[in-house]
Amino acid sequence: MINGYFKFMLMTQFKHIECKNLSVKYNSEFVLQNINFEIKFGEIFFIAGRSGCGKSTLLRQIIGIETPYEGDIFVEGEDLINSHSQKREAILRKFGVMFQSGGLLASLTIGENIELVLEKFTNLSFEQIKELSILKLALVGLAEFYDYYPAEISGGMKKRAAIARALALDPSILCLDEPSSGLDPVTSASLDLLIKELNKALKTTVIVVSHDLSSILNIADRVLVLDRDIRGIAAVGSPADLKKRQDDEKIYKFFNRLP
C-alpha cells in the first residue's frame, strides 16, 4: 500500500491542469492564440510577462470565469470547457482564488468574509463554521484578527485574509492574481514565504499571476512567460534556466532585470 507521502510524490509526475490549443478572442481581436502547457501536481507555477500580455486573461480561462474562443482545459483529467451543471461545479470547487484587489467585503470582518463562503457551500453548523474560519486565518497568521474589518488592517494583512478565504473550501489548486501588487518589498517577501509554506504544508498546487521578478526567483518551480507581440507563450521553464537563456533577448532581459 502506498503511503500519503509517496502517493503525493507519484502525483507530482502527472498533470494537474492541461491547456490544449487555447485561444482567447475579444470582439475581433485575439489576445492569446494556440496556448499549450501543463501544470504539475504540487508545484508553484507562475504566469508572467509584461503588462498587457494576457496573464490575468489566461487565469480567467483556467478558473472558468470566461470561456475561451477555442481549445480545451483539463483539470485532474476532467474536461472543464465541455462540462455542465454539477460536473462543472465539482471541477470549479477544486480552485481557490485570490483576486488582485483582494475582494474582501468591507462591511464584514475578515472572519465573516471567510464564513460567508462556508455558509454558502457547506452544511456545517454555526460553531463549526466559526471554528473553521479561525483555523483558516491561523494558516496565514491572522487568527487574532478575526473581528477586524478590512479597513482596520494593513495591505499585506488584507492579502493574507484573502488567501485564507481562498482556502476556505480546501481547494487542491490555489490561484493568486498579482499577490504582491501594491506591497512594499519586505511585505512582499513575507507573502512569498507564506505562499511557499502553504504549498509545502497543504500539498496544494499554486498558480501565481505576477510580473514581480523577485517573487518569481524566490518561490517559482516553473514559469510560463507570455508575450503580447506573439499573443502566446515565449518560454516555459524553471527561473534558473530562463535566467541563463541567451537565445531569446526578451527573456534574458526580463529575468536579468535589463532594460
CATH number at residue 66: 3.40.50.300
Question: pLDDT of 38-68, one tens digit each?
Answer: 999 999 999 998 888 889 999 999 999 999 9
**Residue 100, pLDDT score:** 77
Residue 159 lies in a domain: no
Residue 123 lies in a domain: no
**Residue 211, pLDDT score:** 86
Residue 213 lies in domain: 12-94+173-180+207-259
Residue 36 lies in a domain: yes
Percent helix, strand, coil in the chain, to 5, is 40, 25, 35
Residue 140 lies in a domain: no
Q: What's the mean per-residue pLDDT of the chain?
A: 91
Where in 50-157 does DSSP place strands (E)?
Answer: 70-75, 78-79, 95-98
Contact 171, 9 (CB under 8 A): no
Residue 148 lies in a domain: no
Beta strands 29-40; 15-26: pairing state:
antiparallel
Residue 52 lies in a domain: yes
Residue 229 lies in a domain: yes
Residue 138 has pLDDT above 90, yes or no: yes
Confidence bin at 9 (pLDDT 50/70/90): very low
Read off the pTM.
Answer: 0.91
Q: Distance between CA 207 and CA 100 in Å, rounded?
A: 13
H or E, element range at 82: none
Residue 4 has pLDDT above 60, yes or no: no
Where in the chain does DSSP place strands (E)?
Answer: 15-26, 29-40, 44-48, 70-75, 78-79, 95-98, 173-177, 205-209, 222-227, 232-237
Question: pLDDT of 94-122, one tens digit each?
Answer: 999 998 777 899 999 999 999 999 999 99
Kindly state the average pLDDT of the residues 188-213: 95
Give whole-number Cα distances, 122 to 110, 117, 131, 246, in Å.
19, 8, 14, 51
Q: Distance between CA 192 and CA 186 in Å, rounded?
A: 10
Give whole-number Cα distances, 143 to 113, 148, 164, in Å.
13, 10, 10
Confidence bin at 30 (pLDDT 50/70/90): very high
**Residue 13, pLDDT score:** 55
Give whole-number Cα distances, 102 to 45, 122, 165, 209, in Å.
20, 22, 10, 14
Residue 154 lies in a domain: no
Question: pLDDT of 168-189, one tens digit each?
Answer: 999 999 999 999 988 999 999 9
Question: How many domains would you assign to the chain?
Answer: 1
H or E, element range at 66: none
Residue 215 has pLDDT above 90, yes or no: yes
Secondary structure letter of residue 105 according to DSSP: -
Residue 230 has pLDDT above 70, yes or no: yes
